[in-house]
A and B are shown apart, each in its own frame.
Chain A
Amino acid sequence: MTAGQENITTVGAGSTSTKDLTLRLLDKLSTVLVFILILALLEAARPGFITFSNVSLIFLQATTRAILAIGEMLVIISGGIDISVGTVMSLAMVTMGVSVIDGGMPMELGFVVAIGAGALMGSANGFLVAFARLPSFIVTLGTLGIAQGMALMISNGRSLYGFPPGFDLIAGGTILGIPVAVIILAVFAVIMLGVFYETKVGRYAFTMGGNEEATRRAGINLRAYKVAIFAISGATAGLASIILASRIDSAHPGIGFGYELDAIAAVVIGGGSLMGGRGTVWGAIIGALIMAEIRFGLNVLGMSPFIQQIVVGVILIAAVYIDTLRTRARIKH
C-alpha cells in the first residue's frame, strides 16, 4: 500500500545509481499497481465496472482529496500534522459562498477570498505551532473545531446556493476531454513540485522533518518556515474548497469534516511518513486516487456511507502501521 521509500534522498535531485533508480521506480509503481489491483477487484465484483466514465469520475473525485493531500504532505514531511484541513476547507467554502452569493462579489474575487481564508487559518496554525511551541496535532485539533464553528456562524448553518452560472464548469467542464479540475490539479502539482524542491520552505521542510535541531543549528529561522508550511496547507484547503464547491455548485458548512482523514490516509499510502522527513507530491496524488477509488468502489458495491467511514478509518490505521514497520526496519539497519 505504500510507496516512495527512498524517494527524498537527495531532495529532488536524481540519484546516481541505476539500481537505485529501478528500486525507486518499482516503489512508485507499487502504488499504481495497488490502484490497478483495486480496480480489478471492483471489476470482478461488479463486471462492467471499468468504464471510461467511472474511471474519470474517480479521478474527478480524487482532485479535491489530492489537492488537500499535497498540502498535508508538506506539513507531514516537516514533522507536523494538520488535521484542520477538512473544516478549514468548509470555512473557506462558505466564506466564498457568502461573499459571492450573499455579497455579490465577483466570482474571481471569491476564489481569492477562499484561498485567503484558508491561508489565514493556516497561518494561525503555523503561528501557534512556531511561537507558542504547541504540538501541531493539538493546535490543529483546536482549529478543526474553531473553523467548523466559524463556518457554521458565517453561513448561519445553512447551505448556500446560487453561484454565478459557469461556476460548476470548474469541476464539470472539460478542456480537450480532460476535466478542468484535473487540469487545475496538474498545474497545482507542478507548482507544488517547485515549492517542495526548489524553495527553501520545501527544502527545510525535509530537513526539519529529518532533524529539527540540526536545521535550527544551521542558523535557519525555523519559525518563519513553519508558519509558511502551515499557511500553504491552509491555502491548499482553500483551493480544494473551490473545486468541491464547483462540483456541488453550492457551499455547505459541514461538508469538509472528515476530509482530513482522507488527506492523511492519502499521504501515508503515498509514502509520506508521519515521523517526518519523507514524502512526495506524486505520492500524495496517487494516495488520494486510491482513497477516492475505495470510496467510489464502496458506493458502487452499495455500502452505506457509515461503513465507508469505518473502512477509511481502518485504512488509515493500517497505512500508519505499515509506515511504522518501515521506519523501524530503517532504523535497525
Chain B
Amino acid sequence: MIAQSDSGTRILPIVEMRGISKFFGGVAALEDVDFHVNKGEVVALLGDNGAGKSTLIKILAGAVFPSEGSIHVDGQEAEIGSPARAKELGIETVYQDLALCDNVDVPTNIFLGREIRRSVVRGLVSVFDRRRMAEETRRLLTDLKINITDIHAPVRDFSGGQRQTIAIAKSVYSAAKLIIMDEPTAALGVAQQEQVLTLIEGLRNRGEAIVLISHNMDDVMRVADRVVILKTGRVVTNRPVGEVDRDGLIRMIISGIDEALELTAAGSPEART
C-alpha cells in the first residue's frame, strides 16, 4: 500500500496521514495535510494558535473524523472512528487538559479501562487485582525514573509536573506504538517543565515514537528529531531538526513560508539521518 516501502532502505512509517482535510462548517481547520511518524522518532508539531495542530492529532486519536484523506497504520489503511479504536491501533494521546481522574489514585488512573482482575472463586467471582496493579505501577514509574512514592494518594495531591508525568506514563504503559502529547509542558513551572522534558528524553532514548505539540522552541530543539509546522491548516514545512534553528522556526510559524525551501526539493524530506 505504501509507495516507498519498496526496499529496506526506506523506513515504513508507523502512522501516515495523507491528504487530510477537516472542515468545521465553512472553516477549514486542516487542508490537504500529509503527516507521518517513523519508528523511534520524536516529531514536533508546531504552529500558531488555531493552526490546526490539535485537530490533526485528534483525528489520530479518534476524537475527530477527517472530512477527506486517509490514515495508514503500519502500512494498512485504518479508519479511526473512536478513541477506543485508536487505542487498539496503538495510538495513545496525552491531551492538553490532563486526562486524569483527580479523585482516584495513580494505579486507578494508569489502569483506567484496562484493569487487571483476579478470580476468587474460580470462574465465578473475580475482583480487581489491586496489588498487581500497584506493583506494575511502581515498576513503570521506576522504569521511567518518575519520582512518586505514595501512589495511593489521589492524583489531585500531586504537582502539575507530576500529574503530567503520570498522564504520560499511563500512555507508555499500554505499550503504544505512538504517543501523542498536546502541549505537555504548557501551564507548568520551570522545574516541572524540566521534569516532563526529562521524561520525554527518556522515552526517546527507549525508542518510543512521539508526536509533540509545543509552543516552546527550546523544548522542541532539545527533544525533537523532526519538525512539522502548520499554518491555517496547511503544512508549512517538514524537516529534520538539524536543518532548522530556533529563530528560523519562529519565523516560519509566523510567516508560514518554508525558509529553507530552496535547499531541498518541494515535498517531504526524509526524516531520519
Contacts and interface: CB of A to CB of B under 8 A. Distances in A.
Interface of A: 6, 8-13, 15-17, 197-198, 200, 203, 206-207, 209-211, 213-221, 277-278, 330
Main secondary structure of the interface of A (DSSP, over half): loop
A217 B130 CA distance: 22
B127 A198 contact: yes
Contacts of B107: 10
A11 B105 contact: yes
A227 B98 CA distance: 26
A203 B101 contact: no
Interface string B126-150: 1110100010000000000000001
29 contacts: A8-B103, A9-B152, A10-B104, A10-B105, A10-B130, A10-B152, A11-B105, A12-B130, A13-B130, A198-B126, A203-B108, A206-B104, A206-B108, A207-B108, A207-B112, A210-B101, A210-B102, A211-B101, A211-B102, A211-B103, A213-B99, A214-B100, A214-B101, A214-B112, A218-B99, A218-B112, A219-B82, A277-B101, A277-B102
A227 to B, nearest CB: 18
Contacts of B113: 215, 218-220
Contact of A206 (B63, B100, B101, B127): B101
A106 B156 CA distance: 52
A219 B84 contact: yes
Contacts of B112: 207, 214-215, 218, 220
B95 interface: yes
A12 B128 contact: yes
Interface in B69-93: 82-84, 87, 93
A235 B107 CA distance: 31
Contacts of A277: 101-104
Contacts of B93: 217
A215 B95 CA distance: 13
Contacts of B101: 206-207, 210-211, 214-215, 277
A219 B83 contact: yes
B83 A8 contact: no
Contacts of B130: 10, 12-13
A206 B103 contact: yes
Contacts of B84: 219, 221
Given A6-B154, A207-B103, A214-B112, 13 more contacts: A9-B105, A10-B104, A10-B107, A11-B105, A13-B130, A200-B115, A203-B128, A207-B108, A213-B99, A218-B112, A219-B84, A277-B103, A330-B156
B153 interface: yes
Interface of B: 63, 82-84, 87, 93, 95, 97-105, 107-108, 112-113, 115, 126-128, 130, 134, 150, 152-154, 156
Choose among B95, B126, B156 the residue with the greatest number of A CB atoms under 10 Å from its CB. Answer: B156
Contacts of A197: 128
A196 to B, nearest CB: 11
A203 B104 CA distance: 10
Contact of B150 (A16, A198, A218, A278): A16
A16 B100 contact: no
A245 to B, nearest CB: 32
CB-CB nearest 3 A-B residue pairs: A210-B101, A218-B113, A210-B103
Contacts of B126: 198
Contact of A217 (B99, B128, B134, B153): B99
Contacts of A8: 103-104
Contacts of A203: 108, 115, 128
Contacts of A218: 83, 99, 112-113
B95 A207 contact: no
A207 B104 CA distance: 7
A9 B154 contact: yes
Contacts of A211: 99-103
A278 B130 CA distance: 19
A11 B93 CA distance: 24
Given A219-B87, A220-B113, A11 B108 contact: yes
Contacts of A17: 150
A195 to B, nearest CB: 12
Nearest to B98: A214
A209 B103 contact: yes
A45 B187 CA distance: 57
A221 B87 CA distance: 13
Contact of B152 (A16, A216, A217, A219): A16
A217 B86 CA distance: 10
Contact of B83 (A15, A210, A217): A217
Nearest to B154: A9
Nearest to B153: A9
A9 B157 CA distance: 10
A15 B105 CA distance: 10
Choose among A200, A206, A218, A330 the residue with the greatest number of B CB atoms under 10 Å from its CB. Answer: A218
B182 to A, nearest CB: 12
Nearest to A275: B103
